[in-house]
Amino acid sequence: MHKVLVLHGPNLNLLGTRQPEVYGHETLDDIDNGLYEQAALGGWEIACRQSNHEGELIDLIQAARLDGTAAIIINPAAYTHTSVAILDALNAFDGRVIEVHLSNVHRREAFRHQSYVSLRADGVIAGLGSQGYRAALDAVMAG
Ligand code: DQA
């Protein structure tokens, strides 16, 4: 069975209560549960993980290199704008990479306009809220 990993970066565990005017009212569990259903319908195996720790996200990306994961959908959150280490880990991963942001980072502060992860991503979705994850998963499953 094809396998996809969804990675959520720091503070995304607070979704639903964190700046809902920017990030929406859905919780991370709401989003992940929808993705689990969508993947099952498409016949894909999926794992959704969140971490507030850069190193843990890197460990998860490294594990995905070795366990047959075909694609990574990642919202690196604030690490998007700072993490060369996450970029390096993704560069060592051979499958597809889709970068997702709930908010339209380009309409926000200038420091959010730069993404290290975009240097590796095959596709980038920003500003569609949780719909962005669903679109990313559709794209991955379409191959
Ligand atoms: C975010 C945008 C980032 O700039 C921010 O640091 C986040 C969330 C988004 O999903 O819109 O934590 O990645």
The pTM of the full predicted model, rounded to 2 decimals, is 0.97
Ligand 1 in contact with 82 (CB < 6 A)? no
pLDDT tens digits in sequence order for the chain, 143 residues long: 899 999 999 999 999 998 999 999 999 999 999 999 999 999 999 999 999 999 999 999 999 999 999 999 999 999 999 999 999 999 999 999 999 999 999 999 999 999 999 999 999 999 999 999 999 999 999 98
One-letter amino acid for residue 108 of the chain = R
Ligand 1 near 101 CB (within 6 A): yes
Cα 137 to chain centroid distance, Å, stands at 10
In the chain, where the domains are located: 3-142
Q: What is the homologous superfamily of the domain 3-142 according to CATH?
A: Dehydroquinase, class II (3.40.50.9100)
